[in-house]
Amino acid sequence: MHSDSSIFVRRVEILPVYVPSSKEKADPKLYAENVRVLMAQSLGVPLADAGILDHIRLKHAGLFVDSSGGRIIQTPRGQKAVQEDMSSQGHPSSSS
């Protein structure tokens, strides 16, 4: 019996050890931001100032962010949610 399954290939890249500066040792948020920037540069991906809560809110609204992180994709449920939100704010619905 053959089952349909996806095969995922993961690339692992070991970066050099990052040694925090004295400023970073005094400011963990600065350290975290600098490591975040370094990792994004190494991966060749853009930075997004969004967290898991933002992702969850979008998902509950039926909206998703594409893999590049640069575009929001609406599902039919998401389109309805956006239209309802706009109409509740006094905006005319695009479906009228």
**Per-residue confidence (pLDDT) for residue 95, from 0 to 100:** 44
**Per-residue confidence (pLDDT) for residue 86, from 0 to 100:** 47
50 vs 78, residue with greater confidence: 50
Burial of 71 (0-12, 13-18, 19+ CB in 10 A): exposed
Of all residues in the chain, the percent with pLDDT exceeding 90 is 25
Mean pLDDT of the chain: 75
Q: What gap in Å lies between CA 60 and CA 85, rounded to an integer?
A: 14
Q: Where are the domains of the chain?
A: 22-88
The full length of the chain comes to 96
Residue closest to 13 by CA, chosen among 39, 51, 32, 52: 39
